[in-house]
Structure 1
Amino acid sequence: MNVVHETSAGTHSCGHEDLPVNPAHALRVSYGMLLGVEDFRTLMGNPRGKQMLHNGWLHGQGVVRGYDVTTVGNELRVMPGMAVDGRGRELLMDGPMCLNLHEWYVTWAEKGEDVANTLWKPPSGTQAAAAGTSATASGQQSSSTGCDGGTEQDFCLVAVFDTCTTNPAPTLADPCDLSRKRTEDSLIVETVRLELRDGACKLPCELPTYHRVRVLLGLDAVGKDDAPGMEAARERKSVGQYPLDARPAALLLAFQKLASLDAVDLQKAVDSADQFPSSEEDAAVPLAQIKLKVIGTGSTATIQAAISVSRRCTLIPTSTIQDLLCALAPGLIGDDPHDDRASGPRVVRDSLKWQENNMQLTFRVTSELEPSSLDMRYQPVRVSSLSKHGWVVEDIGTIDYGKADPEYVTVRMNREPRYDVVRVLICGTGPTPIAGSDALATPLAGFDDGRPVGVEGRDAVWTQNVASTRSAATGQ
């Protein structure tokens, strides 16, 4: 827990002391070297700056734990928590803080913002604010009138990094200093300042970083004149054209390519003199969206608060992300789709062809079929075409298997399909599927680029527009 040492006046002094940040400079010492204040600041600033860069770029801006926001009676209460701001600094608040909404409103209305800013305090019955908690309330815009005459205002509650100096220690007196000051605060305490800011919360996790990757994974839409987004959409379409078992590897390659391009774009937005992902002005961490409704005026006013803690960014631990990734494994890991022992025979997708002016359909299978399961009585292959009035079941003449080639099935039509959009169903389910020649007569398992299935089987369904191969004599 942070400890705040009180000054002689009974309160700690918040001087907003600057902590050194020098990620690229480390102290080089040698025997006999005299060290001054700046040397010690360099010693402090190097590890601190590196940690901030790591947090800011690799973890991002958001709440790690806690920071619940509730109302207790007429008080707005913020519970302890931990967050990381936009510059990678930890915001650790180890005690609750409260704001009396009625007192805040009256003070703000009568005496202005500066006085109202001092009204955050620990809950009654607790000790003085633990390290690091101070707060302000500001903003008087974005108001509207409710149905019952009350005034409504939107505020964003944010946590802001701050520092205080404390623990005075004796120092050598400067003979030229007429004040004869003989002490200096020896500690800097990292604190959290709470602020109510006017308007809606602007969430850093909703900013358009890694846009290409987000389009690839379906999280972002492609905008107008959005060249990076269109590039990612093309990659996504390309991944979808791979066979199912090859898509994970294709997706990984596309992900790595687009992430590299997004990372290049990140550098373009960075101030070369600063190197952090967020400016000081945008570093605050949103905690909650708060709508205040004020009914009445002055000391008789009543104030209602509607709180939404969903308007925040939350950082999830790496170990939890690892566990969540494993949730995808059952859908990605299974039997080898090319292992014929894992399922029944399958239709080779690329082998499906209409021939002889759409009077004959041929396709190849991956393993031997049971010829009796192709008997016309069981309708093992069904062909239909779509008209403006609905589906038309087409007339199949014969189904031949293994005559010209032991791997091929030939379906001969009594007449060419009537309409251009033709749907073919090769049956692998139901009571009479096409079966393999194995001892269990394992049914057809769909297409060769799909996942293998067991005794439940799977249909192979193929839809094609046959207008380009239609005979000129066919009527519509």
Structure 2
Amino acid sequence: MHDEHSAALPASDPFTSLAAHFGMLLGVSDLEAVVGHSWAKMRLHNAWLHGGGVVWGLGISVDGPSREVRVTPGLALDELGRELYLPVLSCLDLAEWFDEQKKKAENPQIFDGAVDAHVVARFRACLARPVPALTSPCDGAGAETAYSRLRETAELFLVPGRSTRAGRYLRLRRLFGLPGTGVASKDTVISQEVDPLRATVMAAPESDRPRMWLDAVRRCAALDSVDRRPTDMDGDGSALLPGSGDADVVLGDLHDLRLVTVDGITTAGVGTIDVATRTSHVDTATLLELASAGTIPHGGA
């Protein structure tokens, strides 16, 4: 939950930087331009060329006696290009969560039994390290305290229901036979465009397929990239990014999550913890090896 110590990153414009010159007077906005330029560049790169997903760690477990969902340290990227770093083992109180959900639900009895939920991580920047600071000259330059550091971290939330995943590059996904969006109207349009192209490649002589397959991949990638565009948002730099809102990163699903009370003692239980519902980033060296293995007859996908 955000409080007065929360802060926004000064990462508003990746295409404007400071043009410094000798004797130049620097103010807060100038220093924010220096710091925010590289921050905004990295966010732009992460958001468009990597997307949201887990880089390492962030394993999930449920501890019955303490009634906690526990998440191990880890690193992730969200779809706004921000790094989410969780430095220590973190916990969510299930007893408190069930109570909150009952208060908000139209049918509270649902949460008396087993329910499905998913764990998400959300970026947060916190103000830290207070130091003496000067107020505005108009206020007489009196001494006050201000925060001198921004610390980037991650918040954890437990959300009712199972997670959903929105696919990117829908034509490429269809070309490789991957599931679509689940929206019938959109998937039908994509299939009508891509399926004939795929059928043409598969019907071609084997000697011609590598070239035709490459042409099909290039065509689908080009059309998908034309369709991608930033989301219009407020003036925090997100107007150049593909995502919007809190940009939660799914860490995994908890199936049949429940609280059980026996002889006055309440413990937590869970049927299945499914981390396969998350998106995971794989390093380029491993991707190169996987792609190379795929070119060997009978040795790859």
Aligned residue in 1 for 2:82: 89
Identify which range, 166-175 or 55-64, moves more after superposition.
166-175
Structure 2: which 5+ runs fail to align? none
Q: Report whether the alignment pairs 1:276 with 2:241.
A: yes
Q: Secondary structure at the match of 2:80?
A: coil
Using the TM superposition, give the Cα deviation of residue 229 of structure 1 relative to its aligned residue in structure 2, in angstroms: 2.3
Aligned residue in 1 for 2:61: 70
Distance, in Å, in 1 between the alignment partners of 2:206 and 2:70 is: 52
Query: Is the 2:64–2:268 Cα contact (8 Å) retained in structure 1?
Result: no
User: What's the CA shift string for 1:211-266, capped at 9, x where partnerless?
Assistant: 11111111146955733321211110111122112201110011101111111111
Aligned residue in 2 for 1:45: 36
Q: Secondary structure at the match of 2:127?
A: strand
Question: 1:319-334 alignment to 2 at 5 Å?
Answer: 319-331=285-297
Q: Secondary structure at the match of 2:22?
A: coil
Using the TM superposition, give the Cα deviation of residue 70 of structure 1 relative to its aligned residue in structure 2, in angstroms: 0.9
Q: Secondary structure at the match of 1:87?
A: coil
Question: 1:433-452 alignment to 2 at 5 Å?
Answer: none
Distance, in Å, in 1 between the alignment partners of 2:223 and 2:294 is: 26
One-letter identity of the residue aligned with 1:27: L
Query: Is the 1:81–1:94 Cα contact (8 Å) retained in structure 2?
Result: yes
Query: Is the 1:66–1:81 Cα contact (8 Å) retained in structure 2?
Result: yes
Aligned residue in 2 for 1:244: 206
Of 262, 265, 287, which residue of structure 1 is paired with 2:251? 287
Q: Report whether the alignment pairs 1:316 with 2:292.
A: no
The number of equivalent residue pairs is 284
Q: Secondary structure at the match of 1:287?
A: strand
Using the TM superposition, give the Cα deviation of residue 272 of structure 1 relative to its aligned residue in structure 2, in angstroms: 7.8
Using the TM superposition, give the Cα deviation of residue 79 of structure 1 relative to its aligned residue in structure 2, in angstroms: 0.4
Question: 1:324-403 alignment to 2 at 5 Å?
Answer: 324-331=290-297
TM (normalized to structure 2)?
A: 0.83
Shift in CA distance, 198/46, structure 1 to aligned 2, threshold 3 Å: same
Moved over 4 A (4+): 138-146, 173-181, 221-225
Query: Is the 1:141–1:153 Cα contact (8 Å) retained in structure 2?
Result: no
Query: Is the 1:288–1:309 Cα contact (8 Å) retained in structure 2?
Result: yes
Query: Is the 2:233–2:244 Cα contact (8 Å) retained in structure 1?
Result: no
Shift in CA distance, 32/193, structure 1 to aligned 2, threshold 3 Å: same
Q: Secondary structure at the match of 1:35?
A: coil
Shift in CA distance, 174/285, structure 1 to aligned 2, threshold 3 Å: same
Using the TM superposition, give the Cα deviation of residue 81 of structure 1 relative to its aligned residue in structure 2, in angstroms: 0.6
Using the TM superposition, give the Cα deviation of residue 86 of structure 1 relative to its aligned residue in structure 2, in angstroms: 1.2
Query: Is the 1:165–1:188 Cα contact (8 Å) retained in structure 2?
Result: yes
Of 172, 175, 186, which residue of structure 2 is paired with 1:213? 172
Greater RCO between the two (CA within 8 Å, min separation 6)?
Answer: 2
Query: Is the 2:134–2:141 Cα contact (8 Å) retained in structure 1?
Result: no
Distance, in Å, in 1 between the alignment partners of 2:204 and 2:31 is: 58
- The CA RMSD over aligned residues, in Å, is 3.1
Query: Is the 1:91–1:161 Cα contact (8 Å) retained in structure 2?
Result: yes
Aligned residue in 2 for 1:466: none
Using the TM superposition, give the Cα deviation of residue 180 of structure 1 relative to its aligned residue in structure 2, in angstroms: 5.2
Shift in CA distance, 310/221, structure 1 to aligned 2, threshold 3 Å: closer
Query: Is the 1:101–1:303 Cα contact (8 Å) retained in structure 2?
Result: yes
Shift in CA distance, 41/215, structure 1 to aligned 2, threshold 3 Å: same
Using the TM superposition, give the Cα deviation of residue 94 of structure 1 relative to its aligned residue in structure 2, in angstroms: 1.5
Structure 1: which 5+ runs fail to align? 1-12, 114-137, 334-476
TM (normalized to structure 1)?
A: 0.54
Using the TM superposition, give the Cα deviation of residue 199 of structure 1 relative to its aligned residue in structure 2, in angstroms: 2.0
Distance, in Å, in 2 between the alignment partners of 1:139 and 1:69 is: 25
Aligned residue in 2 for 1:80: 73
One-letter identity of the residue aligned with 1:16: S
Aligned residue in 1 for 2:6: 16
Using the TM superposition, give the Cα deviation of residue 145 of structure 1 relative to its aligned residue in structure 2, in angstroms: 5.7
Q: Percent identity?
A: 32
Q: Report whether the alignment pairs 1:303 with 2:294.
A: no
Q: Secondary structure at the match of 2:23?
A: coil
Aligned residue in 1 for 2:197: 235
Distance, in Å, in 2 between the alignment partners of 1:19 and 1:139 is: 32
Query: Is the 1:63–1:314 Cα contact (8 Å) retained in structure 2?
Result: yes
Q: Secondary structure at the match of 1:95?
A: coil
